[in-house]
Amino acid sequence: MSEPQADLVTVKVDEREIQVPKGTGMVETAAAAGIEIPVFCYEPRLGPPVGACRMCLVEVEGMPKLQAGCTLTAQDGMVVKTARTSDQAAEGQNATLEFILVNHPLDCPVCDKGGECPLQDLTFRYGPGNTRMRFPKRTMEKPIPISPLIALDRERCILCYRCTRFSESVAEDGQLVAINRGASSVIATFEDEPYKGHFSGNVTEICPVGALTSTQYRFEARPWEIQNVPTVCGLCPVGCNITATTREGKVKRVLSRNHPEVDEGWLCDKGRYAFDHLEARDRITTPLRKRGLRRFEASSWEDAIDEVERLLRESGTTTATALSGGESVEEAYALAKILRQGLGAHNAVLPETPSQLGGSPLSAIRGTKTIAVLSDVPVVERAPIVDLWIKAARRSGATVSYGVPTGAVGALITDDAAKAAGIVAEHVYVLPFTPNGRGVADAWSAAGDEEPVDEKQRVLIISGDEAATDPSVRALAAEAETVIGIGMFEESFRGIADLVLPGTSYLERDGTTVNLEGRLQRQRRAVVAPVPDVLAWLSKLGERFDVELSPHASVLFDEVSERCYGGVTYAELGEHATLPPLAAEAQTPRLSVDSTQTQGQAERSPGLRLVAYRPLFSGAAVERTPELAFQRPDPVVELSREDAQTRGIRNSQTVTVSSNGTSLELRAQVARDLLPGAVRIARDHAGDLHPTVEVRP
């Protein structure tokens, strides 16, 4: 997009002259001149500045009073002085800190934020050295759980309103609010109900003091004891950039690592909190062999690899592989290379047909004026951050429509590439439902391009827990003579696999992943897995079939890249990966996998089409993070305003949803993003309902 070049203006900050586009915020203007204006409430990602905390006071020539730097914008000839050169500004900042500290408990030694706390930092630099406040401080009950994930210490709160602004105008969930007025104001949820929302954890990160902290991290580590590993989340197709904080070889927390084109520094609660699955009780730590119907026994690695070799030799070209779409490009490639080049087994079952549409950064959504969303599944449940970009666009004036648009649109967001046909859109985003479906498909195709043989499949390899728990894969497993699994959790493979080899998590591996934009990103090993690296044993297995396989992700990646990614090398993928331009010739050979599109445009039958979607807070990792249980969707049926009206249904009323013989009582919720004719229920609550339902008050 070509922004019109704004007028440049010249501003003087602390004697330094600087040119910036007219209207640039003074905090940014000063920063461009290399000067810090301290802030608390200012956070441009939360919307327009509010000027609440008064930490950013500066002196402006010609203005009698100090001005809030955060709300001030650069005008030509403006002369600004910060605390560095203005006694008045220094006094103002000192005053603000004195007021903030008047009621602050100063319990830094026992505060999780200690050492990473902007209030400590700014007090150190600008604050008063002693206190003149001789009255008892305001005391409050603390800490208060505002959800199983977040604790609130109201005494430490400096009422910068960052968290409530996040809830109000980024997540738009209206859950975390300020209650009362003046000095009695406190942050709260409704009647101490948990802050339930896809993005709640972000408030712990934007809180500039230790008021909102993560219960998982509470008293777990001091900042000087930790290591922060930059990596990429592997739990959905967005691929948010994260930092995994580790201490003594364990992941202690996940923080965002702002990639302005991908996530703008926000994470969903799944990505932030589900790392507990690394420590799951049913984690597979040795190879397992089936014993009896639903039990496994441990096996040695030598025996297991021998067994796999034997089975694969027998099955040869009739081996099929079901992939999860959560593997790294390298894991998928290593597996593919053994199967395709070592065995001539070309039959792969992918969880979805990855689309090659795209090529635009997610951040482009915000810049558009018209957005069409063609998705049965709520966007937030499949690619949460995309929902934040849509909301951001709407807040800056974009219109968002949910039917097939009549004309060209700025951005098209769809859960199915087929729906994009015939629509003219500047930016297209197809939402896959696996984190690395694209990369896995690329990897598979990079290892060979022959067609699978048309024979009954004897051995089925199931790669990953997501595939193992997928009903259609389980159906295939029932057909196969033998099933070999690769995965993390016993529960996923119980009853279907004959042999299981331990898998690893995205937090335990080096490798690459391709997100829904088509962006190649590097994942780094944050902690050492309790099991051997998958690439290490695959490389050994490869030897048995004379397939040359490096155990190093970098080498494997470069092989894939030569075929699929224009030869970009592993080393070239930076900390903040750029989005490769969508080269027409880069359309690598695609897989011939049956498209299982259940499109069937809603025939105008008398009933309502039921969309039973898979919620974000589901799946193997979430199930193994007890703190996330409360985030599972409520038993509600969403319906369009029109359908609600014609049926005399009010928002929040209890209704009966029925289809042939079954019926359920659910709470009705009027949803703006639903077209008439369809209703939506999270899969967990949809019971045995058929695809066509009726809803009655």
Which residues here bind another protein, judged by CB under 8 A? 49-55, 57, 64-66, 68, 71, 91-92, 95-96, 98-100, 102-103, 132-133, 135-141, 154, 158-159, 161, 164, 168, 173-186, 188-191, 650-652, 670
Q: What 8-state DSSP symbol labels residue 265? A: T
Question: Which residue's CB is nearer to another protein, number 73 or number 550?
Answer: 73
Among 148, 152, 151, 176, residue whose Cα is nearest residue 162: 176
Least Å distance, CB 173 to another protein, is 7
- For residue 547, how many C-alpha atoms fall within 13 Å in the half-sphere facing its CB? 25
Least Å distance, CB 641 to another protein, is 9
Least Å distance, CB 137 to another protein, is 7
Residue 548's beta-bridge partner residues?
none
Question: Which residue's CB is nearer to another protein, number 651 or number 662?
Answer: 651
Least Å distance, CB 417 to another protein, is 32
To the nearest 10°, the Cα dihedral for 620, 625, 626, 632? -60
- For residue 390, how many C-alpha atoms fall within 13 Å in the half-sphere facing its CB? 23
Among 467, 490, 469, residue whose Cα is nearest residue 283: 490
- Kindly report the backbone phi and psi dihedral angles of residue 623, in degrees, each rounded to the nearest multiple of 5, phi listed first: -60, -25
Rounded Cα distance, 343 and 341, in Å:
6
What single-letter amino acid sits at 344? G
Question: Which residue's CB is nearer to another protein, number 139 or number 285?
Answer: 139
Per the structure block, which two tokens stand in for 591?
């897989």
Question: Which residue's CB is nearer to another protein, number 106 or number 536?
Answer: 106
Secondary structure of residue 550 in the 3-state scheme = coil
Question: Which residue's CB is nearer to another protein, number 592 or number 651?
Answer: 651
Least Å distance, CB 72 to another protein, is 9
Least Å distance, CB 141 to another protein, is 6
Least Å distance, CB 178 to another protein, is 6
Question: With contact defined as beta carbons under 8 Å apart, do 384 and 198 qualify?
Answer: yes
Per the structure block, which two tokens stand in for 278?
């690394």
What single-letter amino acid sits at 380? V
Question: Which residue's CB is nearer to another protein, number 290 or number 680?
Answer: 680
Q: ∠ CA 299-339-458 to the nearest 5 degrees?
A: 70
To the nearest 10°, the Cα dihedral for 150, 156, 160, 162? -10
Per the structure block, which two tokens stand in for 671?
């949803």
Question: Which residue's CB is nearer to another protein, number 174 or number 566?
Answer: 174
Question: Which residue's CB is nearer to another protein, number 159 or number 446?
Answer: 159
Question: With contact defined as beta carbons under 8 Å apart, do 677 and 690 qualify?
Answer: no
Least Å distance, CB 409 to another protein, is 21
Cα separation values, 546 from 309, 540, 541, 549, Å: 12, 10, 9, 9
Least Å distance, CB 492 to another protein, is 36
Question: Which residue's CB is nearer to another protein, number 140 or number 568?
Answer: 140
β-bridge pairing 177-179 and 186-188? antiparallel
Per the structure block, which two tokens stand in for 137?
């401080």
Least Å distance, CB 26 to another protein, is 13
Rounded Cα distance, 207 and 161, in Å:
9
Least Å distance, CB 50 to another protein, is 6
Question: With contact defined as beta carbons under 8 Å apart, do 131 and 165 qualify?
Answer: no
Compute the Cα dihedral for 563, 564, 569, 570 and give only its sign: negative
Q: What 8-state DSSP symbol labels residue 224? A: G
Least Å distance, CB 363 to another protein, is 24
288: Cα separation from own chain's centroid: 32
Question: Which residue's CB is nearer to another protein, number 67 or number 469?
Answer: 67
Least Å distance, CB 29 to another protein, is 16
Question: With contact defined as beta carbons under 8 Å apart, do 680 and 637 qualify?
Answer: yes
Compute the Cα dihedral for 290, 295, 299, 305 and give only its sign: positive
Q: Is the peptide bond before 378 cis (omega within 30 degrees of 0)?
A: no
Question: With contact defined as beta carbons under 8 Å apart, do 428 and 412 qualify?
Answer: yes
Question: With contact defined as beta carbons under 8 Å apart, do 459 and 481 qualify?
Answer: yes
Beta strands in 366-435 (DSSP E): 370-374, 399-401, 409-414, 425-430
Least Å distance, CB 627 to another protein, is 21
Question: Which residue's CB is nearer to another protein, number 399 or number 578?
Answer: 399
Question: Which residue's CB is nearer to another protein, number 138 or number 247?
Answer: 138
Per the structure block, which two tokens stand in for 369?
């004026």
Length reported for the chain? 697
Least Å distance, CB 211 to another protein, is 15
Compute the Cα dihedral for 632, 637, 638, 641 and give only its sign: negative
Question: Which residue's CB is nearer to another protein, number 36 or number 172?
Answer: 172
Tally Cβ neighbours within 10 Å of residue 471. 6
Secondary structure of residue 589 in the 3-state scheme = coil
Question: Which residue's CB is nearer to another protein, number 292 or number 397?
Answer: 397
Question: Which residue's CB is nearer to another protein, number 69 or number 201?
Answer: 69
Least Å distance, CB 666 to another protein, is 15
Residue 67's beta-bridge partner residues?
58
Question: With contact defined as beta carbons under 8 Å apart, do 130 and 106 qualify?
Answer: no
Question: Which residue's CB is nearer to another protein, number 128 or number 249?
Answer: 128
Least Å distance, CB 231 to another protein, is 34
Question: Which residue's CB is nearer to another protein, number 179 or number 478?
Answer: 179
